[in-house]
Amino acid sequence: MIEGRAITRTFAARRGMLGHRGVRALRGVDFTIPDRGAVSFIGESGCGKTTLGRILCGLESFDGGDLIIGDQAMAGLKPRQRAPYHRRIQMIHQDPYSALNPTRTIGQVLAAPLALRARQTGAGRGWLERRRSELLGLVGLDPDYVLPRYPHMLSGGMRQRVVIARALTVDPDVLVADEAVSMIDVSLRLGILQLLRGLRDAVGVSLLFITHDIATARYVGQGGQLYVIYRGSVVEQGDTDTVIQHPAHPYTQCLLSAIPVMRGIELPGPERVVPTGPLDERSEPQGCLFEPRCPFAEQDCGAAPPVLSQLGGTQQSHACLHPARRSVVAVPAPTGAA
């Protein structure tokens, strides 16, 4: 189990920008990733979700709070000591092409970490080839086809599967998928999403799914928790389906309202919500971070930052002082409405 407690991260200001205090990417985020569980982080670019994923994998450090992997807190350890823990969390990048070395065949790509593993576990001859083929089968690829090829000879979907197979070579506890399907053709996305979901059962791995596309989170995060992140804080958190069907926080409602509605098969949610203005990254409001753009902001919203609660009797936790139910998600059109 992975736990994050009040994780904070600020990126230093670039030199020469007078008065610019630096970007507060994460402002005290709490989260839990249970064993074999699924967690989704939803938010727009710049909200800190990618930074959080990278902190989990050990690619970024954090300034405040703590990260607990297994039962070990990371804050007290030196970077070199943390490495074996972070190795249990593997990243699946957005761009499957840059995630694979273009000068190496798939066979070589998978052999390297497996060889390391073989040395560590003292595995016998032939184990490497067997395990390699096994992992490729697990991700739905034909070893004979894929092993001698270079990455540019494979489609985006296949490359992403190779990346997943590579991540599995070290038997991780968690897979972090950061926009893992955004650069893949639409007809192939579902395959990858179902693969990721299937791995939870097949291999016992947990999933952290980071995306701006909430619809994809539905397919991976079933029975799991969904966190909506805005400007480095969690504004809503709860069971995936609950948050999507009954969003409480206006930002979540805006995100869901923005999803395109397909004519003929869907009707728009009647109470769709739009932010009142664009995001201003420099502003540091005293109260709720979303207040400057919130169409429902009230007087007290600007006073102090709201904390997560279940105000209004909601099942999920949210950070809004005046939550209200709004039907924002598209509904299926009655059949025969063509």
Interface positions, 255-294, toward another protein (CB under 8 A): 255-266, 274-275, 278
> Smallest distance from the beta carbon of 303 to another protein, in angstroms?
26
Stretch that binds another protein, among 23-31, 106-114, 123-131, 295-303 (CB under 8 A): 106-114
Window 204 to 243, contacts with another protein (CB under 8 A): 212-216, 218-219, 222
Regarding 199 and contact with another protein (CB under 8 A), the answer is: no
Query: Residue 162 has which token pair?
Result: 């190779």
Is the CB of residue 220 less than 8 Å from the CB of residue 195? no
We find the least distance from the C-beta atom of residue 179 to another protein, in angstroms, to be 10
Least Å from the CB of residue 299 to another protein: 25
106 to 100, 118, 263: CA distances (angstroms): 8, 18, 43
- The residue among 102 and 124 lying less far from another protein, judged by its C-beta, is 102
Which one, of 76, 64, 91, lies nearest residue 5 by Cα? Answer: 64
202 binds another protein (CB under 8 A): no
Residue 144 or 313: the one with the smaller Cβ distance to another protein is: 144
| CA distance linking residue 207 with residue 38, whole number of Å | 5
The two tokens of residue 299 are: 């007087």
Shortest approach of another protein to residue 304 CB, angstroms?
26
The answer to whether the Cα torsion of 315, 316, 319, 322 is positive or negative is negative
Give strand ranges (E) for 182-287.
206-211, 225-230, 233-239, 266-267
Q: Does 246 bind another protein (CB under 8 A)?
A: no
Q: Could you give the 3-state DSSP secondary structure of residue 175?
A: strand
Is residue 252 close enough to count as binding another protein by CB under 8 A? no
Q: If 0-12 CB within 10 Å is exposed, 13-18 middle and 19+ buried, where does residue 283 land?
A: exposed
Name the 3-class secondary structure at 73: strand
Q: Is 17 in the site for another protein (CB under 8 A)?
A: no
Least Cβ distance, residue 312 to another protein (angstroms): 23
Instruction: Report the distance separating Cα 42 and Cα 319, nearest Å.
Output: 15
Judged by CB under 8 A, the stretch of 19-27, 30-38, 72-80, 112-120 that binds another protein is 112-120
Q: Is 40 in the site for another protein (CB under 8 A)?
A: no
Residue span 176-195 as binding mask against another protein, x where in contact by CB under 8 A, dash where not: ------x--xxxxxxx-xx-
Polymer length of the chain: 338
Query: Minimum Å distance from CB 333 to another protein?
Result: 7
The amino acid sitting at 180 is A
Q: Give whichever of 28 and 46 is closer to another protein, judged by the CB atom.
A: 46
Query: Which 114-153 positions form the footprint of another protein (CB under 8 A)?
Result: 116, 140-142, 144-145, 148-150, 152-153
Is 30 a residue that touches another protein (CB under 8 A)? no
Tokens 């016998």 belong to which residue?
Answer: 124
φ, ψ of residue 243 to 5 degrees: the values are -65, -40
Find where tokens 């197979």 sit: 165
**Three-state secondary-structure class, residue 243:** helix
Number of residues that bind another protein (CB under 8 A): 87
* Residue of 16, 19, 76, 102 that binds another protein (CB under 8 A): 102
| Exposed/middle/buried for residue 304 (C-beta within 10 Å: 0-12, 13-18, 19+) | exposed
DSSP letter at 306? P
Of 13, 59, 303, 324, the residue at the interface with another protein (CB under 8 A) is 59
- The phi and psi torsions of 307 (rounded to 5 degrees) equal -100, 165
- In the complex, the smallest distance separating the C-beta of residue 127 from another protein, rounded to whole angstroms, is 17
Among 166, 231, 249, 326, binds another protein (CB under 8 A): 166
Contact with another protein (CB under 8 A) among 9, 27, 49, 93:
93
Q: Does 77 bind another protein (CB under 8 A)?
A: no
Determine if 1 is a binding residue for another protein (CB under 8 A): no
